[in-house]
Amino acid sequence: MSSYFTDLAQQYIDGEWRPGTGSWDIIDFNPYDDEKLASITIATVDEVDEAYRAAARAQKKWAETNPYARRAVFEKALRLIEEREGDIAEAIIAELGGTRLKAGFELHLAKEFLREAIQLSLRPEGKILPSPVDGKENRVYRVPVGVVGVISPFNFPFLLSIKSVAPALALGNAVVLKPHQNTPIVGGSLVAKIFEDAGLPAGLLNVVITDIAEIGDAFLEHPVPKVISFTGSDKVGRHVATVCASHFKRSVLELGGNSALVVLDDADLDYAVDAAVFSRYVHQGQVCMAANRVLVDRSVAEEFTEKFVAKVRTLKAGDPRDPQTVIGPVINSSQADAISSAVEQALAEGATALVHGTRTDNLVEPSVLTDLPAGSPLLQQELFGPVALLVTFDGEEEAVRLVNDTPYGLSGAVHTANIERGVGFAKRIDTGMFHVNDGTVHDEPIVPFGGEKHSGIGRLNGDTMLDSFTTTKWISVQHGRSGFPF
């Protein structure tokens, strides 16, 4: 595993591993023990340009390649991940503080999404549409957009890079990937290495490890990419969308959330507790779909709260390398500061801490807060950390209002003994995804994934990848002679 952080601490442009030419380095730290994993000289605007130009050169031939031949690359990439799974898991644990459970979860999904990319290679279909003009044949072709720029986040970097990179490549595009500065290896160069070893032709996937302090908006504004796929915060997503729109580019935005898990009066409370604890605390709460808010009907709130708090107290925080650890470190000190500040803000507003976790460096233990005032800003925002907000409600109508009272609309869940009651509840929630009698954290390769409101624009997964990474082209053929009015 450690060789990843030495061998892959470079840029990958046009099939070559090379150092950046910037004047400073990105230092890659282990967030748990602050060990220096790698030092990577950043890419400049010139290297971003070189990466995009290389992608543009390689893409035309790739698009003309038989899709069955393209498919073979993804089959090989899947085998390589399976062979190297242990080393990749260790890299996930080291670079982003993921627990062993989380590393396994991320790798499982990454393999599932690669399996879908294998199928996606063969999925674009054309159409022949009728015309009101005699003798005219309307052909509609589904063609690659060309070059896709992918910006991936730090929380599930391996999965969320592959989730956009693999479908874009499978559909005949080339890609330039910019991983998050905190996860440059797992989210960037490791992905490139797997595809290189799988036989992907040079230039089709390029990785630039850099920072906006160095390149500004060059990654977004460059004339080559036609689509930017961004996963991250809504604040940055708004900027990405604005820049893309001003340059007539398509943006696919998978942004933050403020999901709620709702416990109705007829729910199985033990099961709801299990779902809620997982949905809030998986990967230290650093998940866009995480249940920031746990809403409980007042008639069952006392019993639920007692069981929920008891289970949270059993979650072991510590070294993510320990298989017993459930709560590892958050990604960096800024994130730890933000979480600690949010808890103190809630307490200052009059909230009660049923569990008040301590902080040691980047290790933030779980907290459970209740009695937040109705107007608290914390109920409106995304808490990217291990802090649960318990909120009671009186009846379904109030629950619907509370769930929707947020600028976000990504995921959510409701627990009830009546399935159709749950489905009816879900239909009233302004989110892209909602789950009945389950957790809030789900992603499946063929089901459309995405949010409403500030949680994003567009969808990923399955056939929606065709909408994201291809475009349509109308070619008409006139059989015989057409008539013209002059």
| 82-130 residue pLDDT tens | 999 999 999 999 999 999 999 999 999 999 999 999 999 999 999 999 9
175: pLDDT strictly greater than 80: yes
Residue 175 CB neighbours (<10 A): 30
Residue 188 CB neighbours (<10 A): 27
2: pLDDT strictly greater than 70: no
Q: Give CATH superfamily name and number for 259-436.
A: Aldehyde Dehydrogenase; Chain A, domain 2 (3.40.309.10)
**Average pLDDT score, the chain:** 97
Mean pLDDT value across residues 331-360: 96
**Tokens coding 112:** 């599932």
Dump pLDDT digits (tens) for 146-157: 999 999 999 999
User: What is the phi-psi region of residue 130: left when phi exceeds 0, alpha when psi lies from -120 to 50, beta otherwise?
Assistant: beta
Mean pLDDT value across residues 310-319: 98
Residue 170: half-sphere exposure toward Cβ, Cα within 13 Å: 30
401: pLDDT strictly greater than 80: yes
Fold of 2-255+455-474: Aldehyde Dehydrogenase; Chain A, domain 1 (3.40.605)
Q: 87 Cβ partners below 8 Å, 6+ apart?
A: 1, 4
pLDDT at res. 194: 98
404: pLDDT strictly greater than 70: yes
At 242, the pLDDT band (50, 70, 90 cuts) reads: very high
Dump pLDDT digits (tens) for 410-443: 999 999 999 999 999 999 999 999 999 999 999 9
SS3 call for 77:
helix
Strands 136-144 and 470-478: antiparallel
pLDDT at res. 366: 98
Place of tokens 């507003």: 349
Mean pLDDT value across residues 197-218: 97
d(CA 269, CA 437): 11
Handedness of CA 114, 449, 469, 147 (dihedral sign): negative
pLDDT at res. 1: 55
What DSSP designation does 449 have? Answer: B
Say whether pTM exceeds 0.85: yes
Which residues is 41 bridged to in the sheet? 25
In the annotation, is 254 catalytic? Answer: yes
The catalytic position among 214, 254, 382, 396 is 254
Type and span of the H or E element at 252: strand 250-254
Domain ranges of the chain: 2-255+455-474, 259-436
At 292, the pLDDT band (50, 70, 90 cuts) reads: very high
d(CA 406, CA 382): 10
Type and span of the H or E element at 135: none
Mean pLDDT value across residues 277-296: 97
The catalytic position among 106, 116, 244, 288 is 288
In the annotation, is 244 catalytic? Answer: no
Q: Answer yes or no: are the C-beta atoms of 402 and 390 closer than 8 Å.
A: no
What DSSP designation does 327 have? Answer: B
pLDDT at res. 483: 87
Mean pLDDT value across residues 332-358: 96
443 vs 178, 401, 449, CA distance in Å?
22, 26, 7
**Tokens coding 2:** 């450690």
